Amino acid sequence: MKGLTSRQAEILEFINRFIKNNGYSPSMEDIRIFFGFRSPNAVTCHLRSLINKGYLSKEISKARALRLKFSSSGYGIPVLGKIAAGRPVLIEDFSEGFLFSQEEMKGVFALKVKGDSMKDAHIYDGDYVIVKKNVDINNGDIVAAIVEEEATVKYFRRIKNKVFLIPANPSYKSIEIKENFILGKVTGVLRKL
C-alpha cells in the first residue's frame, strides 16, 4: 500500500468523518466547498489519487458513491502471518491482510451446499459456497446457477455457444443451461465447524 501525501490524507480523513457524521458519502461538491477549492477538478484529481493508491473506490457517474476501503470500523477477519511464541497473540500483529473486507464482500452472497455432486472439488454437503455476482467466468471455474428452480454449484464449461454445468462427481451427469441462469462465480468455500 502506497503512502499518501498530507493533502490526500486530509481529504481521506474528511470523507471518513463525513460518512460517520452523516451516514452517507460526501459529494465532490461537498469536498470542494470544505477545502475551499475553486475548481471541481481539484477534487476529481485527489479522488483519483486516493483510488489509485487503493484507499478508496467509487462508482463512475454515481452521486455520493464513495466507499472507503479501510474504514476505521474495520470489518473483516485479519489473517495472521508469523506468530510470536511469546504470547499473548495480538490480532494487530503481523497481519497479512483481511478475509472478507468490505471490498471483498461487495456483491457477494452465500449458498448452503446440499448433496455431494462437487465432492471431488472438496465441496461437501453443508458447506457454504461464496458467490460473487457480475464477474467474468471462464471454463473450469466453479459457478452457482439456477437449475429447475433450485440453486446448484457446478463447474462451468462453454463449448461454442452452449454452456454446460459439470459436476465434480462421476455419478452425476453434466447438464446444459442458458447462460443467464448463472448466478455468479464461486470465489470461496466455507465450512463451519
Closest CA to 155 of 164, 115, 146: 164
Which three three-digit cell numbers place residue 148?
429447475
> Any idea how long the chain is?
193
34 or 164: CB nearest DNA? 34
Is 65 one of the binding residues for a second copy (CB under 8 A)? yes
The piece of 5-13, 45-53, 138-146, 168-176 that touches a second copy (CB under 8 A) is: 138-146
Among 1, 60, 85, 193, contact with DNA (rule: CB under 7 A): 60
Closest CA to 123 of 134, 132, 111: 111
Which three three-digit cell numbers place residue 160?
461454442
CA angle 24, 53, 40 (to 5 degrees): 55
Is 58 one of the binding residues for DNA (CB under 7 A)? yes
Out of 49, 117, 132, 185, the active site residue is: 117
Residue 153 burial (10 A CB sphere; 0-12, 13-18, 19+): buried
Query: What residues line the site for DNA (CB under 7 A)?
Result: 5-8, 27-30, 35-46, 49, 58, 60-65
Residues within the interface to a second copy (CB under 8 A): 21-25, 27, 62-68, 75-80, 83-85, 87-89, 91, 96, 99-100, 102, 105-112, 122, 124, 128, 130, 133, 141-142, 146, 148-151, 180-181, 183, 186-193
